[in-house]
Amino acid sequence: MRRAEREALALGLLLGPAELVPVSSSGHATAIPWLLGWEVAGWEGERRKELEVALHAGTAAALVVMGRPVRPVRPALLAAAVLPPAVAGLTLERWIEGHLGTPATLAAGLTAGAVALVLADRGPGQRDARDAGVADGVRLGLAQAAALVPGVSRSGATLAAARTRGFGRVAASQLSWEIALPVLLGATGLKAVRRAGACENGGRAEGTGPLYVGAGAAFASTLAVARAIGIERRGPLWPWAAWRTALAGAILAVRHNRR
């Protein structure tokens, strides 16, 4: 196994647990290789994004296999929650990849998400997930759009948004996962189409080994961890905020030392 494939394997094993908690799995997928000086950290932005999406494809597949509590599909809620990140992804993804992928912006996203988690989790929350309506979906959709910024975290942003709307911790976690899969699958499909188009136009087609290895590892680790701890978070959110802040501090410290 080549070095890049070994690193993709390690990232896939890491992404499973990170996807299930509000710590920014994509932020970890970016930060860990950079902190440890891995080969994949030196890839160009588009190729790194392909690996990240392959990892998320593995986690999404595991969540589909894992299933979730039976709940009637709510088209209006899903549409309101999916439309903002879909529009933002189509229009801003390439700009974000080119301008917001630096260590400093990643640390800022991790810190901002940590603050949002702590502030949103202060109230007890009385609303149930079944009470969510279109207005709640819009707030959750905007949160998912904001999570395009590296380090912010889709699950963290949606948990914080749901908590500010008065939902309890369990209800907020249920809503976060209810709207998650369409966005994960949509992002994976968009990147697959773009990669196929690049190859048809003479772009690079090699280097798919790490993508498959990473996706397989992410699938296995997500499935194993989800079956062990479940996908709903019932405890306070501050420990995850502390973890995010510590990672942001490590990024800034290493950045300072390297300079």
Q: For the residues 54-65, what does the mean pLDDT come to?
A: 86
The per-residue pLDDT for 202 is 56
Query: Of 14, 65, 21, whose CA–CA distance to 231 is shortest?
Result: 21
Cβ-based neighbours of 13, under 8 Å, separated by 6 or more = 217, 218, 220, 221
Question: How many structural domains comprise the chain?
Answer: 1
Instruction: State the DSSP H helix or E strand holding residue 188, giving kind and residue range, or none if neither.
Output: helix 180-200
Please check whether residue 171 is in contact with residue 136, taking contact to mean a CB–CB distance below 8 angstroms. Answer: no
pLDDT digits (tens, 9 = 90+) for 6-55: 999 999 999 888 988 999 988 898 899 999 999 998 887 678 878 887 88
Supply the range of the domain harboring residue 109: 3-258
Please check whether residue 243 is in contact with residue 184, taking contact to mean a CB–CB distance below 8 angstroms. Answer: no
More confident residue, 199 or 2: 2
Phi and psi at residue 93, to the nearest 5°: -60, -50
The per-residue pLDDT for 180 is 81
pLDDT digits (tens, 9 = 90+) for 172-222: 999 998 888 788 777 777 766 766 666 665 555 457 888 899 999 999 999
The per-residue pLDDT for 199 is 60
Six-digit token string for 85: 């990140």
More confident residue, 10 or 259: 10
More confident residue, 207 or 92: 92
Please check whether residue 215 is in contact with residue 51, taking contact to mean a CB–CB distance below 8 angstroms. Answer: no
Phi and psi at residue 2, to the nearest 5°: -75, 165
User: How far apart (Å, rounded) are the C-alpha atoms in residues 28 and 224?
Assistant: 19
**Residue/partner pairs of 68-71 with CB below 8 Å, 24 or more apart:** 68/177, 68/178, 68/231, 69/174, 71/129, 71/174, 71/178
Q: What angle do CA 220, 221, 227 make, to 5 degrees?
A: 95
Six-digit token string for 44: 């160009």
Please name the residue that has the structure tokens 């490590």: 250
